[in-house]
Structure 1
Amino acid sequence: MDLDTTSSTAEYDRLIARHHAMRLRRQILAPAPAFAAAPGDGAHGRTGDRTHDDSYGGTCDGARDAAADQRLILGALGLVTPFADLIDHLYAFMFRRRPFLRALFPESMEFQQVHLERMFEYLIEHLDQPGRLSATLAQLGRDHRKLGVRPVHYEAFEEALREAIRLRAGARWTVELEGAWVRMLRFGVRSMVAGAESALTEPPYWHATVVGHERRRADLAVVRVRTGEPYPYRAGQYGTVEHPLLPHTWRQYSMGCAPRADNELEFHVRRTGPGGVSEALVEHTAVGERLRLGPPRGTLMPEDDTRDLLLVAGGTGLAPMKAIVEELVEHRPRGRRVHLFVGARARADLYDWPALAELGGRKPWLELIPVADDAAAGPRGRLAEAVSRAGDWSEHLACVSGPAGLVDEVRTRLAASGLPPTRIHHDPVLARL
């Protein structure tokens, strides 16, 4: 072992020791359940000093502080954007200063950088709604446990962010601008740490063995896996998947079946490009392969609403809709009707239609509507147009899944036709990352 490696390992050990010491200190000083302290508490923060205060809270004053920071960040956004350049500087500084952290990231950083760009955009856009933002980030923190991230690692991230902001802003850098960014980051960290610590009783990930692999098209496969322990998801949710060919690289896929007693579940995977997780799952996966699954996420299907249901699926967005229909076959509220629109470019692209047809063949409460460009597949026209023309959905509950552009188009048309936006459900943009 060379001196650089020894030094890095020793520094990593010191950071982890500090993390445990800080956690013990919090437990002693605040034995009641509370949000975890953010990185820097006790080292950088001072009560009452707004430059370092990282808690917006749920009060009106907290929301006003968050909105003020949002205005400050937006007003100076041109100093630090494009985010791609800011993030390049951030990671370069972080890995140079703390090289041991590089092992937590995948070999290719391209997807990670896009993920962080969207994270910054989401944080800034929703910063004036700290309550809603905190709930979303808590779920993200719960999911991040599978990456081996500890609260102390965020301290290194904050340090790198400060350096990147100063470098990008140059002579126009100000203490106020940096302070707003750091407060936003610390608020996000608090929420993510709280989510992670609330899930300490469940595994950070589940091992799964591939028990079936069916190529439905040249670019699409249905992958069936079985977990050793129950995977506690609901129909309509999704999980992240890691393939052994791409360590530390996780991608989101919706479960394509309702929960089963034998711990078996399926994913519908379309190959989206070369060298990624989707290619590994479609092209390089066989029965017996071992995958890892992150915690289930998403709230596509509300439990407390029993209105008639409108389901709209494009591409492999069919997976969560099929799971919802399977669950309704067993547990449908009396009198509830379901309309499922499935969009595809051509009849051949309706890859799971036989299974759907068999599922709904003797279910008078379920109407299946294929939408494709060839007449043989059924009603013609773009999916969003077909849905809006098909009837009055203003009294329904809608769930939409598929490519982001499709989801946005369907949402817009349904809202314009009188369906309240609060009853149009889809996975949030941040959760698609």
Structure 2
Amino acid sequence: MQSFPATVGDEYHALLARHDAMRLRREILGPGRAPRPRSAAASYDGAADQRLITQYLDLVTPFGDLIGHLYEEMFARWPYLRSLFPASMDFQRAHLARAFWYLIENLHRPDEMAAYFRQLGHDHRKLGVRPVHYEAFEAALCAALRRTAGPRWAEAVEQAWVRMLRFAVASMVEGADAALAEPPCWQGTVTEHQLCVSDLAVLRVRMHEPYPYRAGQYAAVESPLMPQAWRQYSLACAPRPDHEVEFHVRQTGSGGVSESLVSRTRVGGTLRLGPARGTMTLDDADFSGDLLMVAGGTGWAPIKALLEERAGRRAGGGRPVQPAGRVHLFIGARSRAELYGAEALSRLSMRHRWLRVVRVLDEDRAPSAYGPLAEAVARGGAWTGYRAFVSGPAAMVGAAVARLTAAGMPAGRIHHDPVPEVFAPADDRTAAASAAGACDATGSTR
């Protein structure tokens, strides 16, 4: 049985948990609540720092050298921080490069950036990140900027980078503090591991305590086989009373998280989950209106969860409620062998007359309902008055959304998880693309 061994790292996380619990107790029992701090975006002139940073950006891009110097400096000065990171730093470096570009290109929208980094701070609690770690990161970044830029570097530019970083960190701390009463992560035991095709597994995990999420959301998952390497996967079932959750994982390479989950995880093993995220969820109108659902590959996972929730809705007395609207589901795969989950799909379509299913295979070339998924959706109907839910590889999601908007469906009626974007210019896309390419619209990463 896999388990998370009792290590110094576990003792460290336990200490953090006790620290947060004591803080919460003080807040609850204290005579008065402390005033809420001002938002990080309230007084920050991001546009001014954006202009200054961009003016000298050529001195530190591509970001590969800067990030290499940053981690070298940080781990040399504070060796204990190395335990907070995975053994392989490739994904982490790519992720940081992407974050730098995202910040720099969007500093003129501080309210949006503050919201983004509040969520990031909420999620980083599972890593054991504390405010003191951000201070170490800032010191290492300043040293790395000077080392990378060389003699042309200016103190004013460095201060702009520091203000940008502190703005992001302040938002992250706000997000972490707002989630003080919530566990930083949840642990569960693998109850089933089914290899559907050679590179795709369905995992069912019984959570040790209630795990709050909604159908259509995704979660970061960590395996004890790869400590501190968290990757995002969609939850493939609606919330269940037995606290069991389901994931569909496709192996996208060797030596990564997906390979450990598909090829090396066994029943009885343990996994840890971060807080659920994502807004591709149903609202009250979706139980009576007409819906278009499009799933490609493991994009079937969140669509399956949404269908389960729609089919399982009950009235106040526990009586099943028959949905009034129709659901048209287009589900695509590369070949018939790749079209996994056929039994669950057949059960749903046989049980519910409101569900119509069109299977789309890339290997079929005859002009029919089959063919590339986006074209099949475009040919399938006018979709006037429908709300759409699209999930799958980024290229498929982009093509389907483009077809739907071109056909007149308002963007606000099309729902999908974030499709990765590469924020770097062409000469710095190698590292950033490795992070973006690792993630599909279902929230799955290797």
User: TM-score, normalised to structure 1's length?
Assistant: 0.83
Mean CA deviation greater in 375-384 or 252-261: 375-384
1:114 alignment counterpart: 94
Q: Counterparts in 2 of 1:251-400, with a 5 A limit?
A: 251-303=231-283, 305-306=285-286, 307-331=289-313, 334-375=323-364, 379-400=369-390
Total equivalences in the alignment: 392
Q: CA deviation at 1:296?
A: 1.0
Matched, 1:32 2:35: yes
1:56 alignment counterpart: 41
Change (3 A) 1:30 1:219: same
CA distance in 2, matches of 1:393, 1:169: 54
1:93 alignment counterpart: 73
Among 404, 414, 420, the residue aligned to 2:394: 404
Change (3 A) 1:343 1:73: farther
Q: Counterparts in 2 of 1:168-207, with a 5 A limit?
A: 168-207=148-187
Q: Are the equivalent residues in 1 in contact too, given 2:205–2:245 (CA < 8 A)?
A: yes
Among 108, 114, 121, the residue aligned to 1:128: 108
Among 225, 249, 253, the residue aligned to 2:229: 249
CA distance in 1, matches of 2:36, 2:201: 45
Q: Which consecutive residues of structure 1, in runs of 5 or more, have no partner in the other structure?
A: 1-11, 37-54
CA distance in 1, matches of 2:50, 2:397: 27
Change (3 A) 1:356 1:227: same
Q: CA deviation at 1:125?
A: 3.0
SS at match of 1:244: coil
Q: Are the equivalent residues in 2 in contact too, given 1:205–1:293 (CA < 8 A)?
A: yes
Q: CA deviation at 1:28?
A: 12
SS at match of 2:280: coil
C-alpha RMSD of the superposition? 2.8
Change (3 A) 1:34 1:146: same
Q: Counterparts in 2 of 1:122-161, with a 5 A limit?
A: 122-161=102-141
Higher relative contact order (CA 8 A, sep 6+): 2
Change (3 A) 1:69 1:387: farther
CA distance in 2, matches of 1:113, 1:225: 30
Which amino acid in structure 1 is aligned with residue 349 of structure 2?
A: G
CA distance in 2, matches of 1:429, 1:75: 29
Q: Deviations over 1:317-373 (max 9, x none)?
A: 110110000000022785222222211111111111221121121322212121112
Which amino acid in structure 1 is aligned with residue 249 of structure 2?
A: V
Q: CA deviation at 1:384?
A: 1.5
2:404 alignment counterpart: 414
Which amino acid in structure 2 is aligned with residue 178 of structure 1?
A: E
Q: Are the equivalent residues in 2 in contact too, given 1:317–1:402 (CA < 8 A)?
A: yes
Q: Deviations over 1:207-235 (max 9, x none)?
A: 10010011100111100010110110100
Mean CA deviation greater in 140-149 or 388-397: 388-397
Q: Are the equivalent residues in 2 in contact too, given 1:343–1:370 (CA < 8 A)?
A: yes
1:47 alignment counterpart: none
| Identical-pair percentage | 57
SS at match of 2:192: strand
Change (3 A) 1:391 1:30: same
Q: Which consecutive residues of structure 2, in runs of 5 or more, have no partner in the other structure?
A: 1-11, 314-320, 421-438
1:423 alignment counterpart: 413
Q: Are the equivalent residues in 2 in contact too, given 1:245–1:280 (CA < 8 A)?
A: yes
SS at match of 2:351: coil
CA distance in 2, matches of 1:347, 1:376: 13
